[in-house]
Chains A and B, each alone.
Chain A
């Protein structure tokens, strides 16, 4: 995996002095304060922290769904809005957000029918031509790979929660996004389903190399999936630490038994606790 990641000059995601405040006057809360984050292309980065630490806000700002009050955001060197217009960003929200009247296949292919001018815009964005030229992957194949081959022609209502979320992941990967943003996509699933989905996510990521920004509140999930874990704290929402997870890939079930895995977990838990304590003090 590491050998094939192209390291270009511009980071996939670059946030500088980002600040976001909700509300006005005394009731205003600072969701993000002076956030700097630079993610090289091809990295899997998790944001972790207690609720109110601004991790979801950061994700929405990176995905162009929200504007920062201060600071700059760049996705492969362009503004998030421009990146959206070029279909460079794939979003997997907390709920699968599938359209209930479309089959799974139609759900995952619908994004290809929308905003068709994006391909041209994407080519024009520097350093991106190669990726844009690869075109859309075969969605049927991708669905089969995700274990949805049988379910392809079913409606979302006929699927289990795990299968629906898999379909949502396939829909996002099908765009061959330069940046994939995922907002606690597995938080509503049971433990078994969650682990099998984590495996599948890593498989797909391995194949369709992309940068991932992954919001989670599970420490073990963050360690298992990420190259980098960004630890955040609330009041005001900020980044308190960045932990590089130096574990070889692919990361299978074996990993759970390894000492180094648990060392990383402990390290991140410790950082989270320290952030809490410094706030209380």
Chain B
């Protein structure tokens, strides 16, 4: 409920009609312009510099703990294509798994919101599995499905499935009662209610779930790659192979690439989220 309100308020702020930009679009231009002021970016920059110094000091004192930043940099630039290739493999696994988990969770969420019996059967299990660390079954999945991409997809899909299911189901069921009453008095059908009211109402919940599961899907893919000792591709494989050969710069370069990938994905979701909620606002005429 509160999530939805915040999101819709955000959407409202971001999707103002162009006629009156001054009144409703204060938030975005302001937050963009704000980055010009040193008071906004300087603290972060100082903090990063301090951390880098600390890192370098640690690398000098304990060479087996941390690699020097310079070496990470050289590894990244020298073998940039290698990192990108492996990042794309991991990204592909995570994205495909996320897509599968998303589709299945969405369908099941709609079904449980419409069929109380199914809801009572499924949701308690979903809640328990949602708090279970599902990455732990990665080794078992490797045993079951081998070293190919399949166990990676399955683990990413499984990890994404439950948060999406629970959030979407909550969104579909949280339409305010008075809204439902208005549409009940005109005898709106189930499908009409789903399409025009419940699903759009659940969209902010769905995006909240996406923000949660995006990093999880990458974790799932990486852990599955690490568990499958016979894998040849993916950043998880790169990390486990490099660790076993004491190539710390490669390990940390891969981790850096994974972090950048996560940030980019989150950025993509934010953009899509704005677009989608904007779409709902602007389709009139």
A residues at B contact (CB < 8 Å): 60, 63-65, 81, 84-85, 87, 89-91, 93-95, 97, 99-103, 105-106, 110-111, 113-115, 118, 153-155, 157-158, 171, 175, 181
* 10 interchain residue pairs of minimum CB distance: A93-B178, A101-B280, A157-B12, A97-B178, A91-B185, A97-B179, A100-B8, A85-B187, A84-B187, A114-B188
Residues of B within 8 A of A105 (CB): 284
Q: How many chain B residues have a CB neighbour from A under 8 Å?
A: 31
| Interface hub of A95, A103, A105, A155 (most chain B Cβ within 10 A) | A155
CA distance A95 to B183 in the complex (A): 14
In the assembled complex, how far is the CB of residue A111 from the closest CB belonging to chain B, in whole angstroms?
5
Write the residues of chain B forming the contact surface with A, with a CB cutoff of 8 angstroms: 8-9, 11-12, 15-17, 24, 176, 178-179, 181-189, 192, 196-197, 200-201, 203, 277, 280-281, 283-284
Q: Is the CB of A95 within 8 A of B176?
A: yes
Minimum CB–CB distance from B97 to chain A (whole Å) comes to 29
Task: Specify which of B182, B187, B277 is in contact with A93 (CB 8 Å cutoff).
Answer: B182
Give B208 Cβ to nearest chain A Cβ, in Å: 15
Interface of chain B, main secondary structure: helix
* Residues of the B chain whose Cβ atoms lie less than 8 Å from the Cβ of A97: 176, 178-179, 181-182
Residue ID in chain B nearest A104 by CB atoms: B284
Let me know if B181 and A84 touch, CB within 8 A: no
Are A157 and B277 within 8 A (Cβ)?
Answer: no
Q: Nearest residue in B to A154 (C-beta to C-beta)?
A: B17
Contacts of B176 in A (CB 8 A): 95, 97
Whether A115 contacts B281 by the Cβ 8 Å rule is no
| Complex alpha-carbon distance, A153 and B12, angstroms | 12
Residue of B nearest to A156 (CB): B12
Q: When the two chains form the complex, which single residue of A102, A114, A155, A158 contacts B183, counting CB atoms closer than 8 Å?
A: A114
* Interfacial chain A residues near B200, Cβ < 8 Å: 99, 101
Q: Report which residue of B15, B16, B188 has the largest number of chain A beta carbons within 10 angstroms of its beta carbon.
A: B188
Cβ–Cβ contact B11 & A65, under 8 A: no
Docked pose: A95 CA to B196 CA in angstroms? 19
| Chain B residue contacts of A102, Cβ below 8 A | 280-281, 284
